[in-house]
Amino acid sequence: MAELKTSPRTAGGKTRLIDRAYNLEVAVKQFMCGDVVPGCSAVLRGTENEILTAVAAHADADDPTAVTDSLLAQVRERIVIAA
Q: Could you read off the pLDDT tens digit of each residue along the chain, which spans 83 residues? A: 334 444 455 445 555 555 556 656 667 899 999 999 899 999 999 999 999 999 989 888 877 777 889 989 999 999 999 87
Q: H or E element: which one contains 77?
A: helix 69-78
**d(Cα 69, Cα 44) in Å, to the nearest integer?**
19
**DSSP code for 37:** S
**d(Cα 50, Cα 77) in Å, to the nearest integer?**
15
pLDDT attached to residue 29: 94
pLDDT attached to residue 41: 92
CA distances from 29 to 12, 61, 66 (A): 16, 22, 23
Q: What DSSP letter does each residue of 43-65 carry, written as one string?
A: EEEE-HHHHHHHHHHHHHHH-TT
